[in-house]
Amino acid sequence: MSKVEIKTPFFVLNPKSYLYGEELLKLAKKADQLAENYPISIFVTAPYADLKTISDETNSVIITAQHIDGIEPGRGMGHVLPESVYHAGAKATFLNHAERPLTFAELTKSIERADELNMVTVVCADSIKEAKAIATLAPDIILCEPTELIGTGQTSDDSYIEKTNEAVKEVSETTLVMQAAGISTADDVYRTISLGADGTGCTSGIVKAEDPVQMLEDMVTAAVNANQ
């Protein structure tokens, strides 16, 4: 067993806790169809208890947990057991999101547990300084998202994207860099990938769109086009 291969550019459909059940499944199935038709890896995050259903009903997307705890099977009442989400179908996980920050010791341990299970790690940083520190842990993907821009509809500017790429790759050459601050339109996606991000993704731009399924398609095809 090894980790799932990531085709760049990649796109992350990250509905956070906005969606669950049928509505989430519908969007995940659309993502699955797009992943079959385009040369792009699509990650789909889901609340823990939705992972199994999404996994059962899709084939081509990379099912992704929103977080895992760095615990071994044992006590850990109320914590997120890596083995449980993995067996439910998650082949990747976010870590250290601004809404679920981790201490150094926790993040180090969580990445180790993900590596043991061959889960792709998407680790969040909210400044270039933090991205550099996290790069020493060699995660698969670093998401650089200045906290102050989350949900504002403002994207990172060109120099920020370039600087983050450099800072990360200098420390960990194989780590991919995701840029997703303020992505709210297909144009934002196109621009971000064109500027050199290995991947991007979206939350509110999709779940709050008039037609989320259409917006998802527009963004994914924009990512594909930006790469040509």
Site string for its own copies, 29-68 (x = CB under 8 A): ------------------xxxxxxx-----------xxx-
Read off the tokens for 39: 């040369």
Residues in contact with 87: Cβ distance below 8 Å, sequence separation at least 6, in sequence order? none
Q: Are 95 and 114 in contact (CB under 8 A)?
A: yes
> For residues 190 and 192, what is the distance between their CA atoms, to the nearest angstrom?
6
Q: Interface with its own copies by CB under 8 A: which range of 13-21, 158-166, 175-183, 218-226?
A: 13-21
Q: Interface with its own copies by CB under 8 A: which range of 17-25, 114-122, 178-186, 216-224?
A: 17-25
Nearer to its own copies, 76 or 153 (CB): 76
Active site residue 145: yes
Site string for its own copies, 99-138 (x = CB under 8 A): xxxxxxxxxx----------------xxx-xx-xxxxxx-
Active site residue 166: no
Q: Side-chain half-sphere of 183: how many Cα atoms within 13 Å?
A: 33
> For residues 161 and 134, what is the distance between their CA atoms, to the nearest angstrom?
16
Q: How many amino acids of this chain bind its own copies (CB under 8 A)?
A: 62
Residue 84: CB atoms within 10 Å: 16
Q: Which amino acid is at 117?
A: L
Q: Residue 124: name the closest of 190, 78, 168 by CA.
A: 168
Q: Residue 138: name the closest of 169, 113, 103, 160 by CA.
A: 169
Nearer to its own copies, 49 or 187 (CB): 49
Of residues 184-203, those binding its own copies (CB under 8 A): 203
Q: Which residue from 14, 155, 192, 200 is in contact with its own copies, where contact means CB under 8 A?
A: 14
Backbone angles phi, psi at 143, to 5 degrees: -100, 115
- The catalytic residues are 97, 145
Q: Which residues bind to its own copies, rule: CB under 8 A?
A: 14, 16-21, 47-53, 65-67, 71, 73-81, 83-85, 87-88, 90, 94, 96-108, 125-127, 129-130, 132-137, 147, 151, 171, 203
